[in-house]
Amino acid sequence: MTRGAAILAAAALSLAGAMAVRATPPAEVAQAVVAGDTMPRVLSEYGFFADAPAQVPARNVVPYRLNTPLYSDGAEKLRFIYLPEGERLAADGEGLLEFPVGAAMIKTFAFGEGADRRLIETRVLLHRAEGWVALPYIWNEEQTEATLALAGGRKQVTTPAGESISYRIPNKNQCKECHGLQGAVVPIGPKARNLSTEWLADMVAARRLDAMPATHDMLPLWENRDAVPARLAARAYLDVNCAHCHRPGATASNSGLDLRWEQDDPEALGVFKRPVAAGRGSGGHEFSVVPGQPGDSIMVHRMDSVEPGVAMPELGKSTVDEDGLAVVRRWIAEMAPS
């Protein structure tokens, strides 16, 4: 997609989001269910959708997209935010938007296109008085309902690349591996810097966001990855796909890597950094990132693998993200050798 086409697509999505904010679909979200202390057996109990199979949101449920998305075997992601009537998100710089208690995040994973599209799972994050609660739901074959799957599950799917895989739906505890920070479950996706300025402005205009965040350092659109400097595309990719674990206070903080967008220390990003524990995950390489030498970099070796104990990320993929691997290779290749 060209840069102009990507901008038009983003604008269209922003307009769709604005219309969804201001429209009043007939369906109502069950606020007591979202904010309560139960784990609903089926997705429909929440009332998030006016038409669940078509993913048409109910009133106060707003669609959004990310500039640079998380890779999950090429699955299409349908993302939504639910805000109780009269409540707003709060801007906090370029980081995560702050959600009021009683809000929710909904993300549906689908494979296929048009009439062949199949909804596979919907994950919900519920912001309750005691904190965030993560619950996975698996869609039935009839595509009429999704059922709570605390133990996770498997679905046979065909990826956009044509690979037939056993797609893994995480169990409730595995959700904490990516969403865990300082021992608590937190959202990881809707950072102001990874949302379009049009969408943010629409939310402010609709009184669903308290103020326009400072967004001078936005993550690039993934569609434009070949048109922006490799450093920006790669750093955005690592921030979205890796930094929720590889950062201080998260589940992989003991690795010493900090792959957040705002990090600027080369060693924290892996440059000439030796792994904490060497093993087959290193592939015989000495450093996480070797400037000018992607083939000698542990980061590339692990991204290019689907072998358990080697592959990174450990969860959320059964295939190699060739596009993501390409931008990281390009970033490392363009680094000045030391």
Residue 335's region, left for phi above 0, alpha for psi from -120 to 50, else beta, is: beta
What stretches of the chain show up as alpha helix (H) in DSSP? 3-22, 31-35, 172-179, 197-205, 230-241, 298-303, 322-334
Instruction: Write out pLDDT tens, residues 287-298.
Output: 999 999 999 999
Report pLDDT for 98.
Answer: 94
Report pLDDT for 25.
Answer: 46
Query: Which tokens hold the place of 3?
Result: 């840069």
Cβ–Cβ < 8 Å for 190, 67: no
Is the pLDDT at 67 greater than 90, yes or no?
A: yes
The pTM assigned to this predicted structure is 0.87
Single-letter residue type at 264: D
Is the pLDDT at 174 greater than 70, yes or no?
A: no
Q: Half-sphere exposure (CA, 13 Å, Cβ side) for 240? A: 26
Is the pLDDT at 21 greater than 50, yes or no?
A: no
Share of the chain above pLDDT 90, in %: 69
Is the pLDDT at 259 greater than 60, yes or no?
A: yes
Which range of 29-43, 90-104, 249-263, 297-311 scores highest in mean pLDDT? It is: 29-43
Mean pLDDT score across all residues of the chain: 87
What confidence category does residue 235 fall into, taking pLDDT thresholds of 50, 70 and 90? very high
What confidence category does residue 111 fall into, taking pLDDT thresholds of 50, 70 and 90? very high
Instruction: Write out pLDDT tens, residues 73-108.
Output: 999 999 999 999 999 999 987 788 999 999 999 999
Report pLDDT for 179.
Answer: 63
Query: Which DSSP string corresponds to 45-65?
Result: GT--EEETTTTEE-TTEEEE-
What confidence category does residue 265 fall into, taking pLDDT thresholds of 50, 70 and 90? very high
Report pLDDT for 205.
Answer: 96
Mean pLDDT over residues 179-194, rounded?
76
What confidence category does residue 182 fall into, taking pLDDT thresholds of 50, 70 and 90? low
Mean pLDDT over residues 140-160, rounded?
94
CA proximity to 90, closest of 136, 127, 142, 134: 127
Is the pLDDT at 15 greater than 60, yes or no?
A: no
Mean pLDDT over residues 168-197, rounded?
76
Instruction: Write out pLDDT tens, residues 188-203.
Output: 778 999 999 999 999 9
